[in-house]
Amino acid sequence: MISQPLSKLSVIPLGGTGEIGKNLLVFEYEDSIVLIDGGVKFPDEELLGIDLVIPDITYLEKNRERIKALFITHGHEDHIGGLPFILPKLNIPIYGTKLALGLVKAKFQERTPYPESLMHVLEPGVPILAGAFEVEAFRVTHSIPDAVGYSLLTPVGRVVYTGDFKVDYTPIDNQHMELGKLAAWGEEGILALLCDATNAERSGVTWSEMAVGKALREWFERAEGKIIMATFASNVHRLQQAIDAATDIGRKVCVVGRSMENVVRTATELGYLKLPNENTLVASSEVGTMPPEKLLVLTTGSQGEPLAALTRMATRSHRQINVQAGDMVIIAATPIPGNEKLVGKTINHLYQIGAEVVTKEMGQVHVSGHANQEEIKLVIRLARPRFLIPHHGEIRHQAGFRKIGHSLGYSDQDIALTQLGSRVELSPDQMKFGERVEAGSIYIDGLGVGDVGHLVLKDRQQLGQDGVVVVVAALSKTKPYRVMSGPDIISRGFTFMKEADILVEGAKKEVLNSIEVQIRKDQMEWGILKANIRENLSKYLWDKTRRRPMIMPVLLDY
């Protein structure tokens, strides 16, 4: 028995709450901190030019010496994609199952290396001591093999985090979700359950991944030309089922797209993907010379990403693989919100070529990896936690999860809806919010990390909407003040200035006027002059065009 503690356990989400993506959970008890996951998020449209978003880890950097370890739940980008940016700043040991860690290692090979000595493969059911925490992984089923949740036995009680999960009773690899373990801990008493809330708005249960295998076989039977199947690269079980089905009808498999190639390589090396024979795979350079009815192409691009392999094939800009009339293209995925239009474009291109297109709507070629309402209820009933904390979801999903909690008899006080940086303080009989910690988003753009702030993004939005107008003039900075050259007006992204002579002349007059007003005041303060030019010209252009280009006055000293 653990004696009654004086301190509280803090649970702090630095990512993955109020949003889908960049998961990072912090567990803190006195001088012990343990982390779970370190993911990325893909930027919203308004984050122009941003490649990735990662959690702000200022809080962790300030408390670096207290952090004992980071544990990974599974190998999806939104759980491990931020590690190359996060880990080098913390230099802490990380733990994960074999596949998850394998994917992390592959990730580090692309960027800065991380010491092998700090990476540890972990076995579900084998507890690891990390400061005040005894951390134990338990198997869950999800859309990637080797996914786990974690139990953290702490001085104030046991806290369980499901990680991303669904309840799949017939997983392809026969690695069942350890519901029994959850139930046993439930009998002993769980203080709080952090639970995947992604699908909390969806009624019923999700289908088993096995249903996809069945549907794929049916579609494969009907295909006459090449079969091209796009799916999430990390869904190793779906790849396995597709490869098996193709082999059974005498088709060879070509793997295309960087992330697909990476996952197939790693998963095969680690034994998670089993190729039926030595000749299963063919190189993409061979595809052109093979009979189409002997081929399955596994490819990236299920989200219509402009540079992904399927998108290139659909627009006939892939170097090695062409989609032809009579080919069957299976999009075994659902568009992530925001990608619907891109996916639609790819589908239109494919139909244009004359391919048959199979989507989720036409047959069960995709199932979700997240638990629906009835699965969430099952897990809560088995775990019987004192308190509930939805994790991994937007506000709507948290609200949906709260409704589920209500339906099972939990009150609002028993359910903590967090925000980024919320500190949920747990004692054996109480859950309440403590003081928030610094949290938010760091934008990654090109090679830089964190040097693109909100001002730069605001500028990009204005530039992207209405373009830029540069005003150049050379002035004598000593008396008598005079305009020596210009003003000249150059624009990009605004309108065809060449076709707008009157507009340009009017703009020049406006600028000249601003300068002359300043000269008449007999005072040449360039800061003020620039501000006046900006204001007056902006007004003029708005009146004439109803647009607000960014105005950049450039004054040269003559």
- The rounded distance, in Å, linking the Cα atoms of 171 and 231 is 18
Q: Which stretch binds a second copy (CB under 8 A): 154-162, 267-275, 336-344, 506-514?
A: 336-344
What are the DSSP calls for 402-462, one per residue?
HHHHHHTT--GGGB----TT--EEEETTEEEE-------EEEEETTEES---HHHHHHHHH
Q: Which stretch binds a second copy (CB under 8 A): 58-66, 142-150, 333-341, 424-432?
A: 333-341
Of these, 466, 510, 511, 524, which contacts a second copy (CB under 8 A)? 466
Q: Is there binding between residue 504 and a second copy (CB under 8 A)?
A: no
* Token code pair at residue 133: 């925490």
- The rounded distance, in Å, linking the Cα atoms of 284 and 321 is 7
Least CB distance to a second copy at residue 351 (A): 4
Q: Please, which residue, 168 or 466, has the CB nearer to a second copy? A: 466
For the beta carbon of residue 111, count every other beta carbon within 10 angstroms: 11
Cβ atoms 371, 379 nearer than 8 A: yes
Judge whether 196 counts as a catalytic residue.
Answer: yes
Instruction: Beginning with the edge strand found earlier in the chain, give each strand of the sheet holding 24-29 in spatial order.
Output: 119-121, 94-96, 67-71, 32-36, 24-29, 9-15, 424-427, 430-433
Q: Which stretch binds a second copy (CB under 8 A): 8-16, 74-82, 263-271, 493-501?
A: 493-501
Q: Is there binding between residue 490 and a second copy (CB under 8 A)?
A: yes
Catalytic residue among 168, 196, 327, 414: 196
Of these, 381, 406, 492, 539, which contacts a second copy (CB under 8 A)? 492
- The rounded distance, in Å, linking the Cα atoms of 9 and 156 is 7
Judge whether 79 counts as a catalytic residue.
Answer: no
Residues 269-299 as b or e (16 or more Cβ within 10 Å = b): ebebbeeeeeebbbebeebeeeebeebbbbb
Cβ atoms 241, 213 nearer than 8 A: yes
Of these, 91, 258, 351, 516, which contacts a second copy (CB under 8 A)? 351
Q: Please, which residue, 190 or 200, has the CB nearer to a second copy? A: 200
Least CB distance to a second copy at residue 414 (A): 17
- The rounded distance, in Å, linking the Cα atoms of 221 and 232 is 22
* Token code pair at residue 457: 């993004």
Q: Please, which residue, 132 or 475, has the CB nearer to a second copy? A: 475
Of these, 1, 3, 4, 45, which contacts a second copy (CB under 8 A)? 45
Q: Is there binding between residue 188 and a second copy (CB under 8 A)?
A: no
Least CB distance to a second copy at residue 328 (A): 13
Catalytic residue among 79, 237, 370, 397: 370
Cβ atoms 50, 462 nearer than 8 A: no
Of these, 271, 291, 453, 527, which contacts a second copy (CB under 8 A)? 453
Of these, 218, 224, 516, 557, which contacts a second copy (CB under 8 A)? 557
Q: Is there binding between residue 445 and a second copy (CB under 8 A)?
A: yes
Q: Please, which residue, 381 or 403, has the CB nearer to a second copy? A: 403
- The rounded distance, in Å, linking the Cα atoms of 227 and 216 is 11
Of these, 31, 188, 248, 459, which contacts a second copy (CB under 8 A)? 459
Tell me the site size for a second copy, rule CB under 8 A.
Answer: 67
Of the candidates 363, 407, 406, 414, which has an alpha carbon nearest to the alpha carbon of residue 387?
A: 414
**Which parts of this chain interact with a second copy (CB under 8 A)?**
18, 44-45, 48-49, 201, 337-338, 340-341, 344, 347-349, 351-352, 357, 361, 394-396, 398-399, 445-448, 451-453, 455-457, 459-468, 470, 472, 474, 485-486, 488, 490, 492-496, 499-500, 544-547, 550, 552, 554, 556-558
Q: Catalytic residue numbers? A: 196, 370
